[in-house]
Amino acid sequence: MSSQFNPNDPALGNGIFGLPEDPQQAKYIIIPVPWEMTVSYGSGTALAPHFIKVASAQVDLYHPNNPDLYKDGIFMDEFPEEFIEKHEKLRLVAEELIEDLGLEEATIDKKKASSLQTIIEKFTEEVNQWLGERIKFWQSQSKVVGLLGGDHSIPLAYHQLLAEEEIEYGILTIDAHHDLRNAYEGFKYSHASIFYNVLKNKNISKLVQVGIRDYCHEEVVYVKSDEMKSRMKVFYDRDIQSRRFEGENWAKLCREMVDALPEKVYISIDIDGLDTKLCPSTGTPVPGGLEYNELTYLLDQLKKSGKQIVGFDLCEVGYKDDDWDVNVGARLLYHLCSVC
């Protein structure tokens, strides 16, 4: 980083967090994925990467765990414009298909609906292929790569890449939902199916889920299946709070969460895992969840454990009429960089 950069000055540059836009000098590469193809309730997460970057200019750069974090450099990549344009068009198609499901009598015949779903799936696979290649490109330059969504379907490409590289690892995810449906509203690559799709990769030895509090019967059966008993550890929000009400502290719970993970860990954060006062504009808000400092403490304990972070994503930050959600998202993104 240039010696002329002053971290105490107002953020005047165009880079994320007001840092110089220098990908060659940056340790951290953030790939924005403005994607909400299959969101099933509130929209706005496709706008989040742009507005998180805007809000990041208000983040002061002194980090208590790593005061020199800014010196490592953080660079936000670009998402292809042609993908953005095609996403906007197909999102309208997806919305029409989703709305049609709620009608007593469908207006789109099954054959046409299936054809449209196939088009959306093929485009999703095209984007996943690009994203996997982009992650690999930056990793070949020894960069730490994180994804910024967009809905929670976006990290599939990252996990497919790790599978290709035959890296055995576990996943720590903070989320209000299991995201373990086989498919949702007719979409194979739904945000509600991300971990069902990810767990097809046998190199993932453990999925640790924290903050879960909204789920369906299908997912409960899946979690309790013989195969998943050894591959999953779920810390339901209700159970977390019950244990705390009965006298256990957050530090002990975090030790259990970290100890359940193998030596290599991928971090996946759906912002709705937090208390909804911190993310009111997220697509599927649910009462309950973690406080901001509870999450950052958990991440800090993961770092202190010495486990290797192999990648991360931050998803489902919503943007509507104000900057609150993206301000929280920007600060969480900076903290993620501090532990990776």
Average of per-residue pLDDT across 251-269 = 98
Average of per-residue pLDDT across 264-270 = 98
313 pLDDT above the threshold of 80: yes
32-77 tens-digit pLDDT: 999 999 998 888 999 999 999 999 999 999 999 999 999 999 999 9
pLDDT at 2: 63
User: To the nearest whole number, what is the mean pLDDT of the chain?
Assistant: 95
What residues contact 273, with CB distance under 8 A and at least 6 apart? Answer: 173, 174, 175, 176, 210, 211, 289, 290, 295
**In the beta sheet, which residues pair with residue 210?**
174, 235
194-223 tens-digit pLDDT: 999 999 999 999 999 999 999 999 999 999
Q: Which percentage of the chain shows pLDDT scores above 70?
A: 99
pLDDT at 105: 75
By three-state DSSP, how is residue 269 classified?
Answer: strand
| Dist CA 156 CA 60 (whole Å) | 32
Quote the DSSP letter at residue 307. Answer: P
Cα 124 to chain centroid, rounded: 17
Quote the CATH superfamily of domain 16-339: Ureohydrolase domain (3.40.800.10)
What is the pTM (predicted TM-score) of this model?
A: 0.96
Cα 212 to chain centroid, rounded: 15
Q: Which residue has the tokens 């977390």?
A: 240
71-127 tens-digit pLDDT: 999 999 999 999 999 999 999 999 998 888 877 777 888 889 889 999 999 999 999
